[in-house]
Every structure is written in structure tokens, then in C-alpha cells.
Structure 1
Amino acid sequence: MTDGATVSTMEDLVAFCLARIAEDEELLDWGNPVRIVVDPHGPGDASIPFHDRWKAECEAKRGLIEWAQGVEDLRALGDPAAPLQPHGEQVIRILAETWAGHQDYDPGWRPDGTA
């Protein structure tokens, strides 16, 4: 960019995503079991624990980021086994879109590349 704005890098994108995951995990660490009502009119306890699923989701997001970074590392090294297209970065862009409403989200990270 020539207008003096900072160009976001893959490193910035990864740091943003990992910070949001850490925030989610911090909420989990409060120790309050979150429950979601499945059917408020159903018999008995119609809610399910959300804590375990949320924790698994955080772990899965971290795993996706690690995988995507590995793909990008292979591409940077010129490994012939690496995909020709930037799939790793695209995965992280899609994941980051989850937090598009966050004040630190850079619109340039949109998966379609538009700001």
C-alpha cells in the first residue's frame, strides 16, 4: 500500500486468530459450565453442556492454523508436494472471518481478498 497504511502479513493474520482463540479459552477457564437449551418444552433436562464442544472447537481451530502454516511453509520452501494454490492462507482467512466484527480485524483478510 502506498497510502502509509500498514500491510498485514500472514503472521499478523495468525496472531489475530490465535488471540481470539485465547480469548475464547479464557472464557472457558472461568469455570462456569455453559449450557444450551435444545428443547425448552421437552421432557426433563433438555439442555446440553457447551463447555466441552467449545473447548474442542478452540483446539480444532488451533490445529487448522498449524496445518495451514505448514502448507505455507512448504510452498515457501518450493516443496513440489505443496499445493500450487495458497490453500493454507485461505483456510486462515476463512477462519479469521469468524471474528470480522472484532475491532482488530483487517478487512484485507477477507477470503476473497477484497477490503
Structure 2
Amino acid sequence: MSTNSQQPSAAQREQGKAFLPKFDSAGLLTAIACDAATNEVLMVAFMNAEALAKTRETGLAHFWSRSRQSLWKKGETSGNTLAVEEILVDCDQDALVMKVRATGPACHTGADSCFYRKLDLEGGDVLVKA
């Protein structure tokens, strides 16, 4: 982040080379975890500055739990960690895509991905993906 108190300009964020994360009013960034080999979306979570720093420091995905109001390492209780291979930053630096290697199911339900259902566009029902 910039060392002075001024916020970076849109041009600095969108075209510059500096990492200038744009946290929301709650201090969070959206973080999308995708399988590094298949690009399948595994999960969406949120990171605060501490979670982002821990992820970069350890190479393992850390997030901010909005429900528990605490930092958590993915897999700290289940053992199903996400090893981060690459982090992509969106154009205005308020969202990240992490290319990861999962050691087990990414979803707390036991599914490989949290996105194991799809919306039936005609009927509006949620269906389990084939």
C-alpha cells in the first residue's frame, strides 16, 4: 500500500505494477479459489489484510470468517488445505483468483467444490451437477 495517506488513483490500481489491494468497507477482498490444473471454481471466501499476508507468507490459503469474525487457515480442522500456486489480481484490485492444489474436498459439505449444484434456467430449481 502507499506510504502516504492518499488513496491510489484508479490509473495506479488499474495500470500500475504495484499491488494496491482495494479492501471494501469491512476491510475485505473477495477471494476465489480455482483448481490449478482444471480451473474449476472450488470456493469463494474473503480475505482481510492479515489473511492475505498469511497466505503469501505460508503458501497456504487463509481467509477471514465473517461469521466467526476470525482468521482461519483452510483445512485447519479438516486437513483439506489449499496450496496456493498463483494469485491473479483483478483490474481494480478488489478481488483475487487463487490457483490452488487442494489436498481434499474444498467444500465443508465434503464436495470437491462448493459449486456442486447448478440453477435450472427454465424452472428455477437448483440441481446437482452431473
Do they fold alike, i.e. is TM over 0.5? no
**TM-score after normalising by structure 2:** 0.22
Give the alignment's TM-score, normalised by structure 1: 0.24
Structure with the higher helix share, 1 or 2: 1
Higher strand fraction: Structure 1 or Structure 2?
Answer: 2
Higher Cα Rg: structure 1 or 2?
1
